[in-house]
């Protein structure tokens, strides 16, 4: 659901414990399984406050590469990840920020993905739809 012109959130409920969903976001091999067109060898994660991450998505039709990366701003084990999102070497102060919140509900997990600093809305065929599709891949993993 859109929040403002430069912020949106997407919520999913997964049939998986929070620790498993956390791994999907913090371990390279797991990320490569759900993030579309992202070869494992292009992923690098240092999941700690101040740590950096980067990955490269490859357009399967034309081979064009999209380099993405940022800095982890806040890491609360199994509960919350906050990180900048953009080009790998973008200054922190100019980058959109993702806040991922994981809430345990027994053996299920509510995952809230919030992107601040970048507009998106359902049907945009761009950022919102791209993230929505990627998050659906995590849901499918546990169905």
Confidence band for 115, pLDDT divided at 50, 70 and 90? very high
Confidence at residue 61, expressed as pLDDT on a 0 to 100 scale: 86
Whether 137 and 36 have beta carbons less than 8 Å apart is answered as yes
Contacting residues for 132 by C-beta, under 8 A, at least 6 apart? 10, 122
From the number of C-beta atoms within 10 Å of its C-beta (0-12, 13-18, 19+), residue 111 rates as buried
Tell me the pLDDT of the chain averaged across its residues: 93
- The 3-state DSSP class for residue 68 equals strand
Sheet holding 2-4, edge to edge: 2-4, 7-14, 108-116, 97-105, 80-84, 65-76, 52-58, 44-45
Handedness of CA 111, 103, 18, 49 (dihedral sign): positive
Confidence band for 1, pLDDT divided at 50, 70 and 90? very low
Encoding tokens for residue 61? Answer: 């039709």
Confidence at residue 5, expressed as pLDDT on a 0 to 100 scale: 66
Whether 100 and 112 have beta carbons less than 8 Å apart is answered as yes
Confidence at residue 2, expressed as pLDDT on a 0 to 100 scale: 41
Encoding tokens for residue 115? Answer: 């992107």
Domain interval for residue 111: 2-141
Query: How many domains are contained in the chain?
Result: 1
pLDDT in tens, 23-82: 999 999 999 999 988 999 999 999 999 999 999 999 888 989 999 999 999 999 999 999
Residue 4 pLDDT more than 80? no
Confidence at residue 7, expressed as pLDDT on a 0 to 100 scale: 94
- Percentage of the chain exceeding pLDDT 70: 97
- The 3-state DSSP class for residue 32 equals helix
DSSP state of 86: B
Instruction: Say which CATH number the domain at 115 has.
Output: 3.30.530.20
């Amino acid at each position: 659901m859109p929040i403002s012109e430069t912020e949106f959130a997407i919520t999913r409920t997964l049939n998986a414990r929070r620790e498993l969903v956390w791994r999907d976001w913090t371990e390279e091999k797991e990320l490569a399984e759900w993030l579309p067109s992202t070869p494992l060898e292009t992923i690098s994660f240092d999941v700690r406050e101040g740590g950096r991450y980067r990955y490269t998505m490859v357009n399967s039709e034309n081979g064009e590469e999209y380099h993405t990366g940022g800095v982890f701003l806040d890491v609360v084990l199994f509960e919350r990840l906050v990180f900048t999102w953009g080009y790998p070497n973008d200054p922190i102060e100019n980058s959109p920020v993702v806040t991922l919140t994981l809430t345990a509900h027994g053996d299920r997990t509510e995952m809230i993905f919030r992107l601040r600093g970048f507009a998106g809305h359902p049907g945009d065929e761009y950022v919102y739809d791209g993230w929505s599709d990627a998050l659906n891949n995590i849901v499918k993993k546990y169905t």
